[in-house]
Structure 1
């Protein structure tokens, strides 16, 4: 998945807002004011074969699954600038299948929503 496809998938989740509290180069995706993803350009040394920058996606994750995903995919690393136990960084270099990235996004969204008060969960569920 490329940056644009990931962005579209993220913003099509119910009640998602995009903010840039850290800098204009980092999009932060929130549901009900709670962050579930960030999307930013990777480090300077992370360019594709054409010299184009590779985007990095931070997602919340169950701690056990976070470790398993890091073992399965070289493009999944501990969360960059995040709690490394609860967040993974997905390097969008084309090595992870699109459906797997969508599954990780869905899990991150669900983890955040599951920790909300019941009334907020119902409002979000009504938009699914």
Structure 2
């Protein structure tokens, strides 16, 4: 999946999750997706290539980096808890959607229960 398609797939998935918001706190070059005020995904082209940056459990992040050359530590984020997706052949729509949803769930788990959206179906 090329980089632009990667970003488009990730954005479509994020926008379909309940209670999400798209913001630009770091300028127009950064799309920041949040759930209840918690960041779960960033997309940008500031490095000259399209990137998708997601939350990930530390053990899973390490495993994903070993399994996929297109996954590196989080760009400008905590390297243990964030991953960066680059366009490449080993990434497909289903994997990207799963990782976006996992990132959303991790961010949502850290939000107070009273601020969580209704359960997903």
TM range (shorter): 0.7 to 0.9
**Is contact 1:58–1:90 with CA below 8 Å preserved after alignment?**
yes
- Give the secondary structure class of the aligned counterpart of 2:62: helix
Runs of 4 or more consecutive aligned structure 1 residues displaced over 4 Å after TM superposition: none
Is the aligned partner of 1:64 residue 2:46?
Answer: no
Matches within 5 A, 1:1-128: 2=5, 3-41=7-45, 43-44=47-48, 54-121=49-116, 123-125=117-119, 128=121
Larger relative contact order (Cα-Cα within 8 Å, sequence gap ≥ 6): 2
Task: State the distance in 2 between where 1:4 and 1:43 align.
Answer: 17
Task: State the distance in 1 between where 2:10 and 2:89 align.
Answer: 12
Task: State the distance in 2 between where 1:56 and 1:71 align.
Answer: 18
Structure 1: where are the runs of 5+ without partners? Answer: 45-53
Q: TM-score, with normalisation over the residues of structure 2?
A: 0.88
Aligned length: 117
Cα-Cα RMSD: 1.6
Task: State the distance in 2 between where 1:13 and 1:63 align.
Answer: 23
The structure with the larger Rg is 1
- CA offsets per residue over residues 57-95 of structure 1, 9 Å max, x none? 000000000000000000000000000010000113343
- Give the secondary structure class of the aligned counterpart of 1:70: helix
Task: State the distance in 2 between where 1:7 and 1:94 align.
Answer: 19
**Is contact 2:9–2:93 with CA below 8 Å preserved after alignment?**
no
